[in-house]
Amino acid sequence: MTTLALPLPKRPVHPTGVWSWLTTVDHKRIGILYGVTAIILFLTGGVEALYMRVQLARPGQEIVSPEVYNQLFTMHGTTMIFLAIMPMGAAFFNFLIPLQIGARDVAFPRLNAFSYWTFLAGAIMLKFSWLMGGAPNSGWFGYAPITGVAYNPGHGIDFWIMSLQLLGIASLAAAFNFIVTILNMRAPGMSLMRMPLFTWMTLITSFLLVLAFPVITVALIELMLDRLFGANFFVTRAGANPLLWQHLFWVFGHPEVYILILPAMGIISEVLPTFSKKPLFGYPVVVLSGVIIGFMGWMVWSHHMFTVGLGPVANSVFALTTMAIAVPTGVKIFNWIATMWKGSIDVKTPMLFAVGFIATFIIGGLSGVMHASAPSDAQQQDTYFIVAHLHYVLFGGSIFALMAGIYYWFPKITGRLLDERVGKLNFWIMFVGFNLTFFPMHFLGLDGMPRRIYTYDADMGWNLWNAVASAGAGLIAVSMLVFVANVVRSLMKGEEAGADPWDARTLEWSIPSPPPEYNFEQIPTVHGRDAFWAQKRQGVRTVAVAGGSYNGGEHSIHMPQPSYWPLVAPIGLLMAAYGLIYVSSIFGLAAAVLGGAIAMVSVYAWSFEPVNDPPETSEH
């Protein structure tokens, strides 16, 4: 390889500083980058939501114009789904999967870095649309034909398309990486049915990503061709049936819902056993129900379309499949509760969030059954009842679980515990604020308030609950401030965590906090589920494997080396995507071509990148 006469720069060797973060391929650092970025973007999505709640606090207000309001709800939805919850999941995948399966990194460390930087490029693309002449304004599912040039001549939708394409590339690369990592890099003895639940859910989520994203990629390419090159996929005046978009979008969009909730379920399945000091009840059934949810997630997409006129046969089929998917979801909930039964329950903050998750997620699941019944849904579809439902699933579900995960793994990531008392305060303010915001939305929806309206008349009977919801949103904002304060304070003077502050069960707790770059001094051998618990309680030793041991020498553990290219390639992609939006101008065309060239050269250079180490140390 080294004989190739390529004028490639040497690989970077920055142990610390900004460059070390820009060129890192360490899964733990990439996980931290994902997490911090996602939290910041979560706050921006929260600000967008607050604007909406202020506007709707009272009837007939004109705090934001309808144009801006339409951008706010589009950006809020797109941000929270693609830039907050998904990357927060990715943060946990990155940091935890190698630790949970007893590996030293992911299968493709540079691809992993590439995923993060491409995700960041997509986030920049979306968020900067606010400053580039207007954000997208057609809702997070961008139904045709209002996304067409005829109704949307600005560039907001183009930014939305390009951003989602970049995010799709990032997600696909990450998903392939984690599938290979989980299938190939497990420590000896860790059979699939011994994997921690979070690893299992990550595997299923990764398969969903790999299968779902190509569908929206196709839909977005068609929309791009319509908008930039005058094609007619969704142009109704040329005879298009706009339901094509809805089918494509929801064939992606419904699995996407499970992409958002399965990692959350994985986190809950880790937190509950640890704080109950019991193994997960019915492990095989919980795994299987996750797999079934993953499969059935593909059979329910048209329940988002009960009112579009698919006819009674299609509506009946999708009503039945949707009701059926409630069964494996229910099984998970019952197994979680049984996990706590006769346990020794320590209600620390992560556990508090996990219990809160179960209580609120049930509400989201039950309202889900209400609109699985298509006739009942005819009154609920596109009303605040749906807004309530989806927030009970994505906030009461995903966000609560992610908060549980942050409080649970923060000591592993940073070496310090988050403050317990502030954490409990954080939980209760968020829990009350959340329910105050979203429970009244059920009433609003059933009282006939459609979603996506920027204002309403005073005589509709919606004043009280809108005011309550807006007050609740303020509380959620306060809870986030408490959270950020807790993180900052604990980073500086939090209690030292040690390797295993919770008396936990899985392998990541068997190594120091924060873990060393190489994670495991010795690659462990696994003899059953909850390997670390078994080691602690039954003295089942994790034996070193040949070739994987640490003998104190600096080069004895081969670690992947940093690289510039995973950073440079996404810069090229960002330029190309930005250029494509203005492709009708010479400047846009030039940017697109140049960006594409940068991306291609980077990938080429990446493939032939030299290794700094002498060859004898890179033995696997």
Partner 1 sequence: MTRMIHHSIRHLGVALSILLIALLAACTPSHGQSTFDTVGPVARSQLVLFYWIFWAAVFVFVTVVGALLYIVIRYRRKPGDGDPPQVHGHKPLEIAWTVLPAIVLAVVAVPTITTIFDNANSPDQGALTVDVVAHQWWWEFRYPHPDESGNEVVTANELHIPVNEVVNVTLDSLDVLHSFWIPKIAGKVDVVPNNANTMWIQADIPGEYLGQCAEFCGVAHAHMRLRVIAQPREEFDAWLAAQALPAVDPPDPLALKGKALFEGQAQCFSCHTVSGLKKARGLIGPNLTHVASRGHIAAGELENTQFNLRQWLKDPNAVKPGNIMARDALIYKDADGGYSPLPNESLSEAQVSALVSYLRTLE
Region 109-148 residues binding partner 1, contact defined as CB under 8 A: 138-139, 143, 145-146
- Are residues 57 and 445 in contact, defined by beta-carbon separation less than 8 angstroms? no
Rounded Cα gap, residues 124 and 514, in angstroms: 30
- Are residues 178 and 141 in contact, defined by beta-carbon separation less than 8 angstroms? no
Q: Using the rule CB under 8 A, is 615 a contact of partner 1?
A: no
Nearer to partner 1, 98 or 368 (CB): 368
Q: Choose the binding region for partner 1 from 16-24, 372-380, 555-563, 580-588 (rule: CB under 8 A).
A: 372-380
Q: Using the rule CB under 8 A, is 454 a contact of partner 1?
A: yes
Give 537: exposed, middle or buried? Use CB within 10 Å, 0-12, 13-18, 19+.
exposed
Amino acid at 426: N
Selected from 323, 422, 559, 593, the binder of partner 1 by CB under 8 A is 323
Residue with tokens 């799709």: 168
Tokens of 293: 């949810």
Here's the x/- map for partner 1, 413-442, by CB under 8 A: it reads as: ---------------------------x-x
Selected from 315, 490, 510, 519, the binder of partner 1 by CB under 8 A is 315
Q: Taking each helix axis from N to C terminus, what angle separates 565-581 and 197-229, rounded to the nearest 10 degrees?
A: 30
Rounded Cα gap, residues 335 and 321, in angstroms: 22
Please compute, for residue 48, the number of CA atoms within 13 A of its CA located in the half-sphere on the CB side: 23
DSSP 43-80: HHHHHHHHHHHHHHSSTT--SS-HHHHHHHHHHHHHII
Selected from 1, 337, 491, 543, the binder of partner 1 by CB under 8 A is 337
Q: Using the rule CB under 8 A, is 324 a contact of partner 1?
A: yes
Nearer to partner 1, 34 or 456 (CB): 456
Give, in degrees to the nearest 5, the angle at Cα 184 between 182 and 189. 85
Q: Choose the binding region for partner 1 from 23-31, 126-134, 235-243, 399-407 (rule: CB under 8 A).
A: 235-243
- Are residues 98 and 185 in contact, defined by beta-carbon separation less than 8 angstroms? yes
Q: Choose the binding region for partner 1 from 88-96, 296-304, 356-364, 490-498 (rule: CB under 8 A).
A: 356-364
Nearer to partner 1, 114 or 454 (CB): 454
Rounded Cα gap, residues 109 and 559, in angstroms: 10
Identify the bridge partners of residue 416 per DSSP, sorted by sequence position. Answer: 496
Nearer to partner 1, 207 or 465 (CB): 465
Q: Choose the binding region for partner 1 from 188-196, 260-268, 357-365, 392-400 (rule: CB under 8 A).
A: 357-365
Nearer to partner 1, 452 or 489 (CB): 452
Selected from 119, 462, 502, 578, the binder of partner 1 by CB under 8 A is 462
Please compute, for residue 583, the number of CA atoms within 13 A of its CA located in the half-sphere on the CB side: 17
Nearer to partner 1, 82 or 392 (CB): 392
Least Å distance, CB 156 to partner 1, is 13
Rounded Cα gap, residues 588 and 592, in angstroms: 6
Rounded Cα gap, residues 320 and 329, in angstroms: 15
Q: Using the rule CB under 8 A, is 151 a contact of partner 1?
A: yes
Q: Choose the binding region for partner 1 from 18-26, 156-164, 240-248, 403-411 (rule: CB under 8 A).
A: 240-248
Q: 3-state DSSP call for residue 450? A: strand
- Are residues 9 and 21 in contact, defined by beta-carbon separation less than 8 angstroms? no
- Are residues 207 and 298 in contact, defined by beta-carbon separation less than 8 angstroms? no
Nearer to partner 1, 244 or 571 (CB): 244
Identify the bridge partners of residue 496 per DSSP, sorted by sequence position. Answer: 416
Selected from 240, 413, 573, 575, the binder of partner 1 by CB under 8 A is 240
Q: Using the rule CB under 8 A, is 335 a contact of partner 1?
A: yes
Selected from 58, 424, 452, 558, the binder of partner 1 by CB under 8 A is 452
Least Å distance, CB 324 to partner 1, is 7
Nearer to partner 1, 90 or 449 (CB): 449
Q: Using the rule CB under 8 A, is 341 a contact of partner 1?
A: yes
Least Å distance, CB 407 to partner 1, is 17
Q: Using the rule CB under 8 A, is 460 a contact of partner 1?
A: yes
Q: Choose the binding region for partner 1 from 37-45, 337-345, 510-518, 552-560 (rule: CB under 8 A).
A: 337-345
Q: Using the rule CB under 8 A, is 342 a contact of partner 1?
A: yes
Q: 3-state DSSP call for residue 496? A: strand
- Are residues 156 and 128 in contact, defined by beta-carbon separation less than 8 angstroms? no
Span 49-88, contacts to partner 1 by CB under 8 A = 65-67, 70
Q: Using the rule CB under 8 A, is 458 a contact of partner 1?
A: no
Selected from 217, 232, 379, 618, the binder of partner 1 by CB under 8 A is 379
Nearer to partner 1, 61 or 549 (CB): 61
Q: Choose the binding region for partner 1 from 209-217, 360-368, 423-431, 606-614 (rule: CB under 8 A).
A: 360-368
- Are residues 539 and 559 in contact, defined by beta-carbon separation less than 8 angstroms? no
Q: Using the rule CB under 8 A, is 382 a contact of partner 1?
A: yes
DSSP 503-531: ---SGGGGS-SSPPTTS-SS-----SSSH
Span 518-537, contacts to partner 1 by CB under 8 A = 537
Selected from 369, 425, 540, 589, the binder of partner 1 by CB under 8 A is 369
What's the chain's length in residues? 620
Nearer to partner 1, 205 or 435 (CB): 435
Number of residues located near partner 1, criterion CB under 8 A:
93
Rounded Cα gap, residues 234 and 229, in angstroms: 13
- Are residues 216 and 164 in contact, defined by beta-carbon separation less than 8 angstroms? yes
Q: Choose the binding region for partner 1 from 108-116, 179-187, 237-245, 507-515 (rule: CB under 8 A).
A: 237-245
